Chains A and B, each alone.
Chain A
Amino acid sequence: MDPASHSPALLKPVAWWQLWSNPIFRRYRRSELRPARLAVWCLSILIFTLFFFLLVYLGGQRAGVDKVTAARMTLIPTLAIQALVMMILGTTSTTLGYVREAHEGVTEYQRLTPSSPLAKVLGFLFGLPVRCYALFLLTVPFTLFAAVIGKIEPILLVRLYAVFLMSAILYHLTGLLAGTVVKQRLLAGMIATSLVITINTVLPFIMTGLGKGYAFLTHLTIWPVAMELFFKLGSETGPAFVEFAQNTGRTHFSDGVQLYHWEIPNYLFSLFVQSGLILVFLVIIHRRWRDENHHLLGKHFSIFVCGGVLFLFLGTVLPIIHSGMIFPTLALKNRGTKIIQDAGLSASPTEAWALVSFTGLFTFQLASLIVGTITPSRERLLQGMRRARKLGQRGPSLGSDPATSFWHVSLIGLACGTVWWFFAQTLFNSSWTPDHSLPGWALPMMLFSFMIAVVGFWAILEGRSKGGGTWIYLLLVWIVPLMISGILGVMRLPVAAIYALTPSTPAAFFSISGALLNLPSKAVHLHISGYFWLFLNVFLVLFFLARRWTTARKLRAQVAAEVSDPNRSS
């Protein structure tokens, strides 16, 4: 045999867009669509869909609803079954399937093939849940029946199903991500399923409770588009849908989304937010496919991610400050009206303080999540120092995984802190809190507090040594005070509860916000608690910075002893 005639260079791997020829996709088409097992699934789904479809369609007509409305009503059970198949079943099979492959070690072979990482990710993304796509197709005739008999405008269904499929892909990607990051099969499955349930039900529920705030989180689901469709159909055909929508306070879903000054249709905004998150997930999985030891996000990219979330947060939250819908009490009072026009109403300052505090906590959580993602461990720092020394460089390049994340963390901290202040400033300058305003020194104070919290967290992470000391510290100093305070609160000891929170950084956003505002009740205790946290944490951060510096110095000395410097040796 002549090796030259079979030169591997002549072989051309499948491009990422050739999904049908993608070998991973083909592999799952074979294994997941074996006739015997597929027949059982198809029959089960067909029977259940038919049962609920007939129940609603015939039952509705028997209850006196006309044919058109009854057909429209069948959309609800059909969509529910489709969501069950695509979201829950699809995500679970994606996660478990991927973790099984990783556990068996077969993914190692896949990593070695010359196809691009994107082609491999897409192969898994559409291949693992391929049976769910087949089952979904089986239910489509029911939707078409509802569309034809129910005289539903095709464009409405196209919008709904565009968002539906985008959501499904997002959830499958969530499953793939969980499978890529979490190595234990059961844990990965549980995490993925919990994420889907949280995104689909818990978040929209909380967001509804908070009025329209954090709208971009709600749009990670199909809820806004589905409710808009149902409301539109209902308002055309009868009072049942309108009553349902009003009872559940969902009339505002028909408004679209206010992003800064732009009014964006629900479906477009959903597609925009979901595709943004899909992009982030794809980048994460792509990085892990390139090297399983890579950080989930690159340092530079993490700044874009943080900026994107802050942009969406501010864009969706600022318009509802002016309408007053951001205050839960006002939103509840005014459910059913588009915008609260009555300028005579004012918001409770305690509620405003809580909103500012929660925003501080939200932005801190966002910053912490990114800091935890991009900050190198001791091992990575050591590896980077060795490599840099070998190459005669001063240190790893700024954007690489083993480089210190200090500069990126500082930038992220500044951005998040500024957004926190900007939100508070807009809230207290609005007409809803006429007797309160933010002092002029709030910006430096809020930025300083935020940076103390974020840089402190970074220094803890990057200066940590081997062992679990860091996590014990975070548990005892950050989390346990929250629990103690909760118990004291239940015992009706509010002052003790405030002081118990003092050492905890996540709780500091409440005391710092309280210290900036003249709240009528317990204000002095919040002042003391907030300033004491700041005083304490300045010293703690200095300590952690010194520890981080010492760690880096020790590592540099270790590397200098191990690796010769080519600049000196030449």
Chain B
Amino acid sequence: MVLLRTHLAFYIASASTADLAIHTSDLRVDYGDTVAVRGIDLRIPKGEVYGLVGPNGAGKTSTFRVLATLMEPTYGDVFVCGHDAALHRSRVRQKLAYMPDLAPLPSDLKCWEFLELFAGAYGLRGQAGRDRIDECLDRVELTEKRDAMCKTLSRGMTQRLVLAKTLLHRPAVMILDEPASGLDPVRRARLRTTVREVAGEGRTVIISSHILSELADMCTSIGLMKDGNLIDSGPVDEVIDRLSGSTRQLRIRIAGQSHQVQDWLRQKLGADLVVETERGTLSFPFEGSESDQADLLVAMVSSGFRPSSFEVGRSSIEDIFLDLSAPTDVQ
């Protein structure tokens, strides 16, 4: 009976996960008494650039290692492009590529030899393999370092070479753990372009980075992890809206009379309102609907003030990350 139920669950899960690049259900990872990942359910559609965000120890790397088939979860299912990672590990490995944090390189190989090792491992041999190696080196702008020993590369070049390795077999899913670390701003911009191009080819990229502003630019959707839990997941704007709630920051620039405006705002919105002023622009938190915002603006104009600009500031991934990283109050 249990066997039948397991088989049925497997077929139902396989059918429902065919359109997803990654699907985990109730994924849990333990290290003895420490729970690294607490039963998370991830659903990442194909072609997404998905950012996994969370403070250190949130469970991101453990999740990545399970997705990359480097470790078995305590329990839970992982499907990569519809293949069960527990049952079809080899097929899953053909579909994905993993770039670990602080990606290492063998010290005794040249750059092209390093790529040849992995081209061969994925079955890319002969002229096709050599062409693909050159193509990948070109894509990460390392063609001139083709014959250099890996140990002579800088940190940034190392990252780029490992990225080239990751691209070699044209994986359907790429898992990149901190790919931008060690890259200068120009290379980071280039990485963003590469990631977007890869996603444009229909591949799925799962990425974690501490450079959150860039993550927001690159990702189409994000997942937020804390203490092993997936707090929220979905398109970037939706997640930010959900987590930042109904409070937003309004920024108004008034022609003159800034002190009077502050007093007027406190009368209108509450005596304890914190209003920050920077070069004539007032910034303050506002809770309410868009209609309430419009009413406030009309009231302001009616009161004789003359706003020259009006802007609704949104929370960023960075704000949410800082909120997540703040220690939780223990009651």
Please report the C-alpha to C-alpha distance between residue A106 and residue B98 in the assembled complex, in whole angstroms: 12
Contact indicator A113/B125 (Cβ below 8 Å):
no
Closest chain B residue to A379 by CB distance?
B32
Expressed in whole angstroms, the minimum distance between the Cβ of A75 and any Cβ of chain B is 35
Q: Does chain A have a CB within 8 A of B117?
A: yes
Q: Does chain B have a CB within 8 A of A105?
A: yes
Chain A residues with Cβ below 8 Å from B93 are: 112-114
Q: Does chain A have a CB within 8 A of B68?
A: yes
The answer to whether residues A386 and B94 also contact, given A8-B122, A105-B104, A113-B118 and a CB cut-off of 8 A, is: no
Contact indicator A11/B70 (Cβ below 8 Å):
no
Contact indicator A390/B75 (Cβ below 8 Å):
yes
Chain A residues with Cβ below 8 Å from B124 are: 11
Cβ-defined partner of A13 (8 Å) among B28, B75, B121: B121
Residues of B92-134 at the interface with A, using a CB-CB cut-off of 8 Å, are: 93-98, 100, 102-109, 113, 116-125
Contact indicator A3/B201 (Cβ below 8 Å):
yes
> Binary interface profile of B, 180-210, with partner A (CB < 8 Å = 1, else 0)?
0000000000000000000001110000000
Contact indicator A379/B120 (Cβ below 8 Å):
no
Contact indicator A11/B123 (Cβ below 8 Å):
yes
Expressed in whole angstroms, the minimum distance between the Cβ of B113 and any Cβ of chain A is 5
The answer to whether residues A3 and B31 also contact, given A12-B123, A26-B117 and a CB cut-off of 8 A, is: no
Contact indicator A379/B123 (Cβ below 8 Å):
no
Contact indicator B94/A11 (Cβ below 8 Å):
yes
Expressed in whole angstroms, the minimum distance between the Cβ of A272 and any Cβ of chain B is 33
Chain A residues with Cβ below 8 Å from B2 are: 391-393
Residues of A358-401 at the interface with B, using a CB-CB cut-off of 8 Å, are: 378-379, 382-383, 386-387, 390-393
Please report the C-alpha to C-alpha distance between residue A108 and residue B31 in the assembled complex, in whole angstroms: 19
Contact indicator B170/A106 (Cβ below 8 Å):
no
Q: Does chain A have a CB within 8 A of B165?
A: yes
Expressed in whole angstroms, the minimum distance between the Cβ of A113 and any Cβ of chain B is 4
Please report the C-alpha to C-alpha distance between residue A116 and residue B95 in the assembled complex, in whole angstroms: 15
Expressed in whole angstroms, the minimum distance between the Cβ of A30 and any Cβ of chain B is 5
Please report the C-alpha to C-alpha distance between residue A465 and residue B100 in the assembled complex, in whole angstroms: 33
Please report the C-alpha to C-alpha distance between residue A391 and residue B172 in the assembled complex, in whole angstroms: 30
Cβ-defined partner of A101 (8 Å) among B6, B95, B106: B106
Output the residue of A8, A22, A378 with the most chain B CB within 10 A: A8
Contact indicator B91/A291 (Cβ below 8 Å):
no
Q: Does chain B have a CB within 8 A of A403?
A: no
Contact indicator A3/B202 (Cβ below 8 Å):
yes
Contact indicator A24/B72 (Cβ below 8 Å):
no
Contact indicator A111/B117 (Cβ below 8 Å):
no
Q: Does chain A have a CB within 8 A of B74?
A: yes
Please report the C-alpha to C-alpha distance between residue A274 and residue B107 in the assembled complex, in whole angstroms: 34
Chain A residues with Cβ below 8 Å from B98 are: 109, 112
Cβ-defined partner of A27 (8 Å) among B26, B71, B109, B172: B109
Q: Does chain B have a CB within 8 A of A194?
A: no
Contact indicator B75/A3 (Cβ below 8 Å):
no
Contact indicator B109/A387 (Cβ below 8 Å):
no
The answer to whether residues A104 and B32 also contact, given A11-B124, A114-B93, A387-B75 and a CB cut-off of 8 A, is: no
Q: Does chain B have a CB within 8 A of A63?
A: no
Q: Does chain A have a CB within 8 A of B169?
A: yes
Residues of A546-562 at the interface with B, using a CB-CB cut-off of 8 Å, are: none
Chain A residues with Cβ below 8 Å from B69 are: 112
Expressed in whole angstroms, the minimum distance between the Cβ of A87 and any Cβ of chain B is 23
Cβ-defined partner of A30 (8 Å) among B72, B100, B109: B109
Cβ-defined partner of A14 (8 Å) among B95, B109, B123, B172: B123
Q: Does chain B have a CB within 8 A of A491?
A: no
Please report the C-alpha to C-alpha distance between residue A100 and residue B171 in the assembled complex, in whole angstroms: 28
Expressed in whole angstroms, the minimum distance between the Cβ of A520 and any Cβ of chain B is 55
Contact indicator A382/B30 (Cβ below 8 Å):
yes
Cβ-defined partner of B117 (8 Å) among A2, A6, A23, A112: A23
Cβ-defined partner of A108 (8 Å) among B6, B100, B107, B202: B100
Cβ-defined partner of A386 (8 Å) among B30, B107, B119: B30
Chain B residues with Cβ below 8 Å from A391 are: 2, 6, 75
Please report the C-alpha to C-alpha distance between residue A100 and residue B106 in the assembled complex, in whole angstroms: 9
Closest chain A residue to B38 by CB distance?
A562
Cβ-defined partner of B68 (8 Å) among A23, A27, A112, A293: A112
Contact indicator B32/A108 (Cβ below 8 Å):
no
Q: Does chain A have a CB within 8 A of B293?
A: no
Output the residue of B2, B123, B124 with the most chain A CB within 10 A: B123
Chain A residues with Cβ below 8 Å from B97 are: 112
Contact indicator A9/B94 (Cβ below 8 Å):
yes
Expressed in whole angstroms, the minimum distance between the Cβ of A280 and any Cβ of chain B is 23
Contact indicator A291/B72 (Cβ below 8 Å):
yes
Contact indicator B91/A14 (Cβ below 8 Å):
no
Chain A residues with Cβ below 8 Å from B120 are: 14, 21-23, 26
> Binary interface profile of A, 420-462, with partner B (CB < 8 Å = 1, else 0)?
0000000000000000000000000000000000000000000
Cβ-defined partner of A378 (8 Å) among B31, B32, B70, B100: B32
Chain B residues with Cβ below 8 Å from A116 are: 90
Contact indicator A104/B106 (Cβ below 8 Å):
yes
Contact indicator A11/B169 (Cβ below 8 Å):
yes
Expressed in whole angstroms, the minimum distance between the Cβ of A383 and any Cβ of chain B is 5
Chain B residues with Cβ below 8 Å from A14 are: 120-121, 123
Contact indicator A109/B91 (Cβ below 8 Å):
no
Q: Does chain A have a CB within 8 A of B33?
A: yes
Please report the C-alpha to C-alpha distance between residue A1 and residue B166 in the assembled complex, in whole angstroms: 17
Contact indicator A13/B108 (Cβ below 8 Å):
no
Residues of B133-188 at the interface with A, using a CB-CB cut-off of 8 Å, are: 165, 169-172
Expressed in whole angstroms, the minimum distance between the Cβ of A73 and any Cβ of chain B is 40
Contact indicator B121/A110 (Cβ below 8 Å):
yes
Contact indicator A3/B169 (Cβ below 8 Å):
no
Expressed in whole angstroms, the minimum distance between the Cβ of A335 and any Cβ of chain B is 51
Contact indicator B122/A106 (Cβ below 8 Å):
no
Expressed in whole angstroms, the minimum distance between the Cβ of B316 and any Cβ of chain A is 32
Please report the C-alpha to C-alpha distance between residue A506 and residue B25 in the assembled complex, in whole angstroms: 49
The answer to whether residues A114 and B117 also contact, given A8-B170, A379-B32 and a CB cut-off of 8 A, is: no
Contacts A27-B117, A382-B32, A382-B33 aside, 11 further interface pairs with beta carbons under 8 A come to: A8-B170, A8-B171, A12-B123, A13-B123, A23-B118, A23-B121, A24-B121, A31-B109, A114-B93, A114-B121, A391-B6
18 of the cross-chain contacts (CB-CB < 8 Å) are A3-B172, A3-B201, A6-B170, A8-B94, A9-B94, A11-B123, A11-B169, A13-B121, A14-B123, A24-B117, A24-B121, A104-B107, A105-B100, A109-B98, A113-B118, A383-B30, A390-B26, A392-B2
Interface residues of B (CB under 8 A from A): 2, 6, 26, 28, 30-33, 68-72, 74-76, 90-91, 93-98, 100, 102-109, 113, 116-125, 165, 169-172, 201-203
Q: Name the 4 nearest CB pairs between A and B, nearest first.
A: A23-B120, A11-B123, A113-B121, A379-B32
